[in-house]
Structure 1
């Protein structure tokens, strides 16, 4: 512990905060009051607690369970303070561990491995930890309780003792005996007279739990069963906490009100100024509806940006149905580009909120530690501001979801179910709107930059040039903040912004070499937790969806490691969970496959994270990635991957799963061959596309926690697994030259541009689905040709009848002639869908193709009827003309004579004569053909697109 405290004293405030956060995650006690070895002042490191959250569940008298998730500095809980007076044969810290978690050393004590007899820096240190109940009957305490431990003899540390006694709800004092001659008895008598409960634990006494007077207990330790003693102490503490007249609530921030201590947030000027600047921004959000804040303060990233992304995808992935609406492809592209430019104009001319103005101004006016403090404070205050509303919305979502499930269980198809589902969707949208963090502010800055850059002009109300924005973001990356690479809400890469930030990064650092490590996995499989543990990062972690989109973060290679590695930075890319339940649907499949291909293509190494031992879901995604890479033949990508199986309890899983690994290899190779056949490639093995060694690139991780949260500590085996994986990654990385930042920038541009033009592959679950669908399309062509050829024969037959004088065609006659062919086609379809070896895959498209065939049949019948009716009308018109030919000739001759007679006086002006004759001729032709059907002006390209769209759809699923 002296080593830990030595590092703590020598660390800057950011490292202290990181240390305390990690200690909390490991379920270790945290330094609350720390005597400075240099000045002897008592320091309260409040700043170090700002990123720690605690969750717990409580049960009320009715049995209802309520959940809480709070930052520890906001939690109001009772405090139990432990002191020791004089020497004691029993360890106070070990006793506290038995109360909180007997299987884990929350408080370091004399019997821990590595402990020593002497203490240099721990005397006088007050440590704190919280007991968080899980809502189970086995909970030791029914509510969240703070436990404080004053190290050393309490009599020698008056300031710490004074603070703790003022804030504690229960005192627990350890001393040898209740001896009136002892110098500590003055303090004990003060505690005894105090209204707060007091528990005296006597090391040299063997008495059982005794209540000396109300709320005052004594318990002996000598020669007694420890489990009995611990239970008595627990019972006495619970009795004290249930005493309403004495139980007060302790809040971490209240310690700062004491005058005898130094508070880091107050004494550090940069920290104080950073908080003031962040608070200035938060004041603008007061009394605002959280679900409308982003729309009001961050307008560029909302509907406008989402519309632009959609238009951009439509520009690169036009369906033939959309092309049919335009006269040609160039006109279509021009139309889309024009729409996109209008959206950029709206973004560029939208009002710049004061919130964003202050943010930009603060970033520009500060530097160094002050900027980092400002950004960290802004993140902390935003989380604080949104937590209550998000908690309420999550509770509402849970209630609505339970209602929907209950109605579904009853097979209720009423309007109530529909209404409940609509309400659930509305709450889901509110949750999305209410999520508001630092990443959204940076996204807005990025969109401001993209709009101004596209319009090539600055915003009117922007007090500085937009061209400085990428430099600000680059500084943040250098300071350790992640940058959003793919917008998770819009499922799009803001290419202009990301490129500009990387250019600014190159200007500041030089064109450094990086090794790109990315991670992919199903939602809640532990991706961010793994990266955080491996590299000391702080990606968001919790149950459910935390990361949206993809974020990249720079990790500097130390001078010691540069001798082994040929690059300067590790660039870590964290991604959102794939196959998210709350986003289930076809669009999710496209998005997941796009993201997987993008991330694997970017990375020198991709960690495929799997929860458990079954990689089926990720196999499907990897097959699509492989086929997508085959279609990107012009890119010479050399990605590699490793499989990481999380939460595998069997330590011999690696040896036992040799058969499973062999099957994984065979499955991946089989699908690679299938994809190669589809794409006409000569690739045979999965490793030909993505470097992978099944013997060495499959890792098995122990479960993260030892026991059940919220009090379970991390599993040491998990940490060992992390270290082994890190060593393997660095070993592989040492053989790579990495890529320069400029090459990485080009790769992002090239890869995303190609992905935008690819849609077919991403629509499918796996490579087999693609092959099955293409075979189905071939069959569909055969079925449609059967109907078309049959209708052509029917059409010819009726044309002959019309030529022979039959001038009446009924639709039921056409249907009767097509009846047998239609039945044959339907029979063939039923046979194919029900008997083909891939019928389980085909069933998802059956209804759609049956509808297409039915629509084609109806269109053919109606189209043929229309053509035959036109032929009949034309025949009638010809017969009418033939009958009136002599009449028309005489009438034309008569009108010509009249015209010649009327023009005798005009002379021989040939131009005027022709004009008059043409006018008379046009008028006569109009009279003659007024009963004839009009001639149709055919648009050749419209017909081409319409016919092709029947056979080759670009959006197949």
Structure 2
């Protein structure tokens, strides 16, 4: 039995500050207490005190839960309308279709609306995505009463806490259509109904919204749990790295690869302290509370969880380089287990093996809990208890706590007492100091990949272990293993690019110019054609290099899943082996961190264009171009073609959401035969649904236009990879058949351009002319063009030239100018009078553009040029993306709302015919040739 003096001291200490801990136990008293405890335990239980758990199953859970628990998952899926997606999983393409709901800021009316509403909000980076609730047909005055009665029930429960051993989070009636769904249940149900690629998209978007991420997904119906390693693969984070000696710099890495100490927070039986609220407080710098982890005080937070118990979430603290905001000097991971450790022992066991320290929150430590924790004897993990003794059984707690102290190698500093009278800020500081102390000392530091290995050993399923994924990974590694030097690889493996393609592109441009010159000399045309054929014959004389052949085999796989896995693996593998040395921070930090970055010079790239999937596809395109050119000239029989199937392979990738290159980023030239071949294949594939609207985005590099398109439509255009021009890429969005007649098109082709020159025309030279041609081509193809202005009110000169050139042809797309305020999230947008001034006031750039296009001194304002009506919202103000300082800043709700309004306006313009006449694919092919 524990010493009475120790018991009294612990009870007295409970009244003190939140940072207070249980008293230090003298060595002699500890030895006596342990000896008595061991004797009593042997008398009660015998010598064997070890707790056994099964491999890959949850024996405690299986034995304790009634049979009805086994059907809760199916009940939840049926309630949410997701039961049809158990065999054929919900895909990313399903979630991105444009429908009538895409134009509505609608609230869910029935539970089956909840998953789709959550997905749309998450796609739009709406920070309130987890607040998704139904608008029930209930009288308004009925709801407060319901909430009041719920609070009374909680008070009654806590008054009798000492006599109740049930878990208030686990037991409830099965959900009904009138019962609000807990957001964590909604998340788990949606993830269990989604394929690997939609799971990955959900997790990436949650990361951008600074939500805690699902790491272990429970499946109580089938009694296996999944470690979500693949779902995390797409997350890349940037943080400030400060070595012990030396100059700090930004580091960028995948969250699955970098090592960091992890701290797990778990609940044992009942705890009157909320783990999630405590974690949010620990992760929140300054006075602003961040809700990374969902907790009981948030909307629907008190609704019972039906299927989410056993979920393990993860979130990171990442330093920004600012002392006033950096709680910890290095990245730190925090893990949160939902539910009681006794019912989810397998997850708890894993957390003890991957964490540097485990914090156990509980009100009661009884014989059952002691037996569970005794089985952790010999564990290398540090254990900390957070107790609330006035809500639990005081004497029993103390008795078993004294027994556990030597078993878990703890001392008095490992026991924290938190009651209602304790100062919360002081207690949070105490937790932070413990975390910082453990992180500074030699401790376990694991990457998510290493955590997944530990999960496998315990019998948990890892989502990345499916055969298709592993075959695709093996093929990627065979390719990337041979990449030692980027320049050498481009020269030896991607042989048709570089100088061969640049020379051929130049000859084709000259040939095009003489054809449009009017009565050109036939001799000159013949010379150009001869030179072009020579260059194409040289290209066609090569065979695809080994790496390109392996890539072609990967994208030719008959398994659609394996093909998608291979492309994702290639993106990450190439980014890993070809990662250039950063000269400045990446785009997301660059545009938001003027203190560290200083002035931005957009006239040159921050780093050379890295090697990517587009380079392998560009090589395939050049093989197709060279072969097609020779067939057209009669130099090669059509029956001897080897690469005629390449456009069909690329089209499969486009239909699966991969951006395809429309304009070459290295030469700013269009591979005409390759692009038309792609569009012809698209026309064949879409058959009767081939009506297109083309929507494009142009602007200065680093202005957030790619992020804007990705947020608006859920696309995958590259962001943060430098500020130099990278050509233009296209993605295809499907319009739901039920909405296509109303909208007037079957698909929307979205084109994202590389950055355009934002400086003076005189210094731009040939590069400017290329970009002016690029802007002309893109705007000429477009029905709708979004021009991103960022913080400057000057229209990029290449776009002004495109306006002037297109005006001569009579083609003017519907356009929207988007002013993105990248620094100040609270700044208000331009008012109608300011819009008129922006449009009416001629600038030096517009004067120079008019002179270069031989428009004389008759200066044109933008309003005259583009027939702009400022009252029709042609100019938009988009607030900053981040609310605060990255990498820990939350997404601004104003950004999401403004993007949604812009999207709705664009779709309304398309539906109302305000854009140029919609095209079919055949017309688009002809337009590409003409332009």
What residue number does 2:597 align with?
none
Q: Distance in 2 between matches of 1:6 and 1:365?
A: 31
Shift of 1:121: 1.8
1:458-487 CA distance string (max 9 Å, x none):
999x99821111111122111221111100
Q: How far apart, in 2, do the equivalents of 1:261 and 1:394 lie?
A: 44
Q: What is the rounded CA distance, in whole Å, between the counterparts of 2:724 and 2:830 in structure 1? A: 34
Q: State how far apart, in whole Å, the 2-side matches of 1:492 and 1:673 are.
A: 22
Number of the residue aligned with 2:927: 747
Question: How far is the alpha carbon of 1:711 from its aligned partner?
Answer: 0.8
Task: Please state how far the C-alpha of 1:350 moved relative to its aligned partner.
Answer: 2.3
Contact 1:84 1:175 in 2 (8 A): yes
CA 1:444 to 1:28, structure 2 compared with 1: closer, same or farther past 3 Å?
Answer: same
1:640–1:690 CA contact under 8 A, matched in 2: no
Matched, 1:152 2:342: no
- 1:302 equivalent in structure 2: 498
Q: CA contact under 8 A between 2:313 and 2:336: conserved in structure 1?
A: yes
Deviation readout 1:281-322 (Å, 9 max, x if unpaired): 334x25x32332111111101111012122333444589xxx
Partners of 1:318 and 1:221 lie apart in 2 by 84
Question: What are the ranges of 5 or more consecutive residues in structure 1 without an aligned counterpart?
Answer: 320-327, 397-424, 752-957
Q: Does 1:726 align with 2:900?
A: no
* Counterpart in the other structure of 2:717: 539
Q: Which deviations, in whole Å up to 9, do the C-alpha atoms of 1:252-299 show, x marking residues without a partner? A: 34424423444354553332332233333334x25x323321111111
Query: Which residue is 2:660 aligned to?
Result: 483
Q: Secondary structure at the match of 2:886?
A: coil
Range moving further from structure 2, 246-255 or 69-78: 246-255
Q: Which residue of the partner structure matches residue 623 of structure 2?
A: 448
Report the alpha carbon displacement of residue 367 of structure 1 after superposing the two structures with TM: 3.8
- What's 1:42 paired with? 225
Deviation at 1:343, TM superposition (A): 1.3
Query: Which residue does the alignment assign to 1:2?
Result: 185
Q: Deviations over 1:788-835 (max 9, x none)?
A: xxxxxxxxxxxxxxxxxxxxxxxxxxxxxxxxxxxxxxxxxxxxxxxx
Q: Secondary structure at the match of 2:663?
A: strand
Q: Where does residue 315 of structure 2 map in the other structure?
A: 129
Query: Aligned partners of 1:604 and 1:473: how far apart in 2?
Result: 24
Structure 1 residue 739, shift from structure 2 partner: 1.0
Q: 1:657 offset after TM fit, Å? A: 5.3
Where in structure 2 are the equivalents of 1:737-816 lying within 5 Å?
738-751=918-931
| TM-score, normalization by structure 2 | 0.69
1:431-460 deviations in whole A, cap 9, x for unaligned? 537x11111110000000001111229999
The count of aligned residue pairs is: 700
SS in 2 for 1:578: coil
1:532-557, CA deviations, whole angstroms, 9 ceiling, x for partnerless residues? 00001111112732771101110001
Q: Does 1:198 align with 2:374?
A: no
CA separation of 1:71 and 1:716: change in aligned 2, threshold 3 A: same
- Contact 2:230–2:464 (CA under 8 A) maintained in structure 1: no
Name the counterpart of 1:930: none
Against the structure 1 CA distance between its residues 611 and 573, is the aligned structure 2 distance closer, same or farther, given a 3 Å change threshold? same
- In the alignment, which residue of structure 1 is the partner of 2:554? 362
Write the distance in 2 (CA, Å) between the matches of 1:75 and 1:459. Answer: 52
Kept in 1, the 8 Å contact 2:259–2:445? The answer is no
Task: Show CA shifts across 1:606-643 (max 9, x none).
Answer: 0111113x42143x444322321244x4xx42312111
3-state secondary structure, aligned to 1:77: coil
- Offset, 1:341: 1.8
Pick the aligned partner of 1:95 from 260, 278, 282: 278
- Give how far 1:10 is off: 0.9
Structure whose CA Rg is larger: 1
Query: Is the counterpart of residue 372 in structure 1 residue 568 in structure 2?
Result: no
Unaligned runs of 5+ in 2: 1-183, 395-404, 587-602
2:538 corresponding residue in structure 1: 346
Is the counterpart of residue 494 in structure 1 residue 666 in structure 2?
no
Quick check: 2:224–2:461 contact (8 Å CA) kept in 1? no
8 Å CA contact 1:219–1:233 kept in 2: the answer is no
Is 1:275 paired with 2:449?
no
Aligned partners of 1:655, 1:585: CA distance in 2, in Å?
30
- Match status 1:237 vs 2:435: yes
Which one has more relative contact order, counting CA pairs under 8 Å at least 6 apart? 2
Q: Give the CA RMSD over aligned residues.
A: 3.7
**Which residue, out of 421, 426, 437, partners 2:612?**
437
In the alignment, is residue 25 of structure 1 matched against residue 224 of structure 2? no
SS at 1:616 equivalent: coil
Aligned-partner Cα distance in 1 for 2:549–2:447: 38
**What SS does the aligned partner of 1:597 have?**
helix
Please list, as runs of the form range in 1=range in 2, the aligned pairs for 1:571-586 lying within 5 A after superposition. Answer: 571-579=749-757, 585-586=764-765
Query: Residues 10 and 747 of structure 1: is their aligned pair in 2 closer, same or farther, counting only changes over 3 Å?
Result: same
Matches of 1:126 and 1:497 in 2, distance apart? 47
Task: Evaluate the alpha carbon distance shift between residue 45 and residue 261 of structure 1 in structure 2; reply closer, same or farther with a 3 A threshold.
Answer: farther
Given that 1:46 and 1:263 are in contact with CA atoms closer than 8 Å, whether structure 2 keeps it comes out as no
2:300 to 96, 114, 119: 114
Matched, 1:605 2:784: yes
Judging changes above 3 Å, is the alpha-carbon distance between structure 1 residues 650 and 59 closer, same or farther for their aligned structure 2 residues? closer
**CA shift at 1:671, angstroms?**
6.2
Contact 2:227-2:463 within 8 A present in 1 as well = no
Q: How much has 1:681 moved relative to structure 2?
A: 13
Larger helix percent: 1
Work out the CA distance in 1 between the residues paired with 2:271 and 2:830. Answer: 50
Q: Deviations over 1:87-130 (max 9, x none)?
A: 11221011111111353211111111232330012101001111
Residues 1:642 and 2:832 are matched in the alignment = no
Please say if residues 694 and 751 of structure 2, whose CA atoms lie closer than 8 Å, have aligned partners that are also in contact: yes
Counterpart Cα distance in 2 of 1:313 and 1:221: 77
Equivalence for 2:117: none
| Separation of aligned partners in 1, 2:635 and 2:553 | 16
* Aligned partner of 1:713 among 856, 874, 890: 890
Structure 1 CA distance for aligned equivalents of residues 848 and 746 of structure 2? 35
The separation in 2 between residues aligned to 1:313 and 1:50, in whole angstroms, is 42
The structural deviation recorded for 1:57 is 1.3
Q: CA deviation at 1:570?
A: 0.9
Residues 191 and 137 from structure 1, CA distance in 2 versus in 1: closer, same or farther, beyond 3 angstroms?
A: farther
8 Å CA contact retained: 1:531, 1:537: yes
1-structure distance, mates of 2:351, 2:658: 37
CA contact (8 A) 1:630 1:679 kept: no
CA gap 1:743/1:690 in 2 versus in 1, 3 angstroms: farther
Question: What is the Cα deviation at residue 332 of structure 1?
Answer: 3.3
Instruction: Decide whether aligned partners of structure 1 residues 214 and 350 sit closer, same or farther in structure 2, where only a CA change above 3 A counts.
Output: farther
Q: CA deviation at 1:189?
A: 5.5
Q: Which residue in 2 is equivalent to 1:336?
A: 528
CA distance in structure 2 between the partners assigned to 1:463 and 1:68 by the alignment:
50
Rate the CA distance shift 1:215–1:332 in 2: closer, same or farther, 3 A.
farther
CA contact (8 A) 1:44 1:261 kept: no
d(CA) in 2 for partners of 1:463, 1:274 = 31
* 1:83 aligned residue: 266
